[in-house]
């Protein structure tokens, strides 16, 4: 129903062309034969354990909008940043693809989150180092870009996944604050981890990436430290 109140049926498309509406309704009825196990359905089914109240349509819309805003660019930008860092650092790229391709030789079987996390330390280090340099959502940043833990690291601007492979890597991993902390910690972080590991592991196993020949940034453009110059995170015209 589309009036204010509890949503008992999510299948009404009042603003859609009636013919199209009929087709959609039929498809939904057919699909309804199967149990729905997605996040939207969880919100529709959720009940207050004390009062038994369900979410109103307005609350449902607002939860869906929050999930879309908080859960899409954050994760996809982190994945994109990781690939850019790998392209700027060919030796790390070689290392990480060799790791994933040797541990999981080509196969139609998707590499699972659990397997990727447990068996790909180099990929883990790349993900952590990417999030340290380019925290995609954190309000807590150093120099607008680096996560706070960078404040006590040597050469914080340099992409160096080895930081998360050394003897103190467990401590460093604990310091990752990209998902916030405390009662407001990111509610979608487990989903984000799952996406980061599975997308990167499976994509790096299957595809070879390369920069375009006229890319302005890359391994050919080194800064004073000898490391590739980072693409500026903030446009100079923005401030």
Residue 222's φ and ψ, nearest 5 degrees, are: -100, 145
- Judged by CB under 6 A, does residue 130 bind ligand HEM? no
- Judged by CB under 6 A, does residue 134 bind ligand HEM? no
- Judged by CB under 6 A, does residue 188 bind ligand HEM? yes
- Judged by CB under 6 A, does residue 103 bind ligand HEM? no
Shortest reach from residue 74's CB to ligand HEM, in Å: 3
Q: How far apart are CA 168 and CA 63, in angstroms?
A: 39
Q: For ligand HEM, which residue of 70, 158, 173, 215 counts as binding (CB under 6 A)?
A: 70
Residues belonging to the binding site for heme are 186
Three-state secondary-structure class, residue 191: helix
Which residue stretch of 11-19, 49-57, 72-80, 155-163 sits at the interface with ligand HEM (rule: CB under 6 A)? 72-80
- Judged by CB under 6 A, does residue 187 bind ligand HEM? yes
| Alpha carbon separation from 64 to 8, 42, 118 (Å, rounded) | 17, 11, 32
Comparison of 16 and 66: residue with beta carbon closer to ligand HEM: 66
Token pair 């994933």 in the structure block, residue: 100
Shortest reach from residue 176's CB to ligand HEM, in Å: 10
Q: How far apart are CA 183 and CA 89, in angstroms?
A: 37
- Judged by CB under 6 A, does residue 180 bind ligand HEM? yes
- Judged by CB under 6 A, does residue 120 bind ligand HEM? no
Instruction: Output the residue with the shortest Cβ distance to ligand HEM.
Output: 188
* Residue 6 β-bridge partners: 56
- Tell which residue, 25, 22, 24, 45, has the closest CA to residue 35: 45
Q: For ligand HEM, which residue of 103, 158, 165, 186 counts as binding (CB under 6 A)?
A: 186
Residues 189-208 that bind ligand HEM (CB under 6 A): 191-192
Segment holding 64, helix H or strand E: helix 57-71
Q: How far apart are CA 27 and CA 50, in angstroms?
A: 35
Do 125 and 169 meet the contact criterion of CB atoms below 8 Å apart? yes
Tell me which residues touch ligand HEM (CB under 6 A): 66-67, 70-71, 74-75, 78, 136-139, 178-180, 184, 186-188, 191-192
């Amino acid at each position: 129903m589309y009036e204010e109140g509890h949503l008992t049926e999510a299948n009404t498309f009042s603003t859609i062309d009636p013919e199209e509406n009929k087709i959609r309704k039929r498809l939904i009825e057919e699909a309804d034969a199967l149990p729905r196990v997605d996040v939207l359905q969880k919100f529709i089914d959720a009940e207050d354990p004390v009062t038994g109240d369900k979410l109103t349509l307005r609350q449902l819309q607002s939860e869906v909008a929050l999930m879309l805003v908080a859960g899409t660019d954050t994760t996809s930008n982190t994945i994109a940043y990781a690939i850019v860092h790998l392209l700027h650092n060919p030796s790390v790229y070689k290392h990480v693809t060799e790791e994933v391709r040797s541990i999981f030789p080509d196969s139609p079987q998707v590499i699972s989150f659990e397997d990727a996390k447990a068996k790909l330390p180099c990929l883990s280090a790349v993900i952590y180092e990417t999030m340290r340099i380019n925290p995609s959502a954190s309000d807590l940043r150093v120099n607008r870009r680096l996560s706070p833990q960078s404040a006590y690291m040597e050469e914080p601007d340099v992409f160096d996944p080895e930081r998360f492979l050394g003897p103190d890597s467990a401590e460093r991993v604990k310091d990752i604050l990209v998902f916030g902390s405390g009662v407001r910690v990111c509610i979608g972080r487990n989903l984000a981890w799952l996406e980061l590991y599975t997308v990167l592991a499976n994509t790096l196993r299957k595809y070879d990436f390369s920069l375009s020949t006229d890319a302005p940034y890359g391994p050919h453009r080194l800064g004073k430290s000898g490391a590739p110059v980072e693409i500026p995170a903030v446009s100079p015209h923005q401030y």
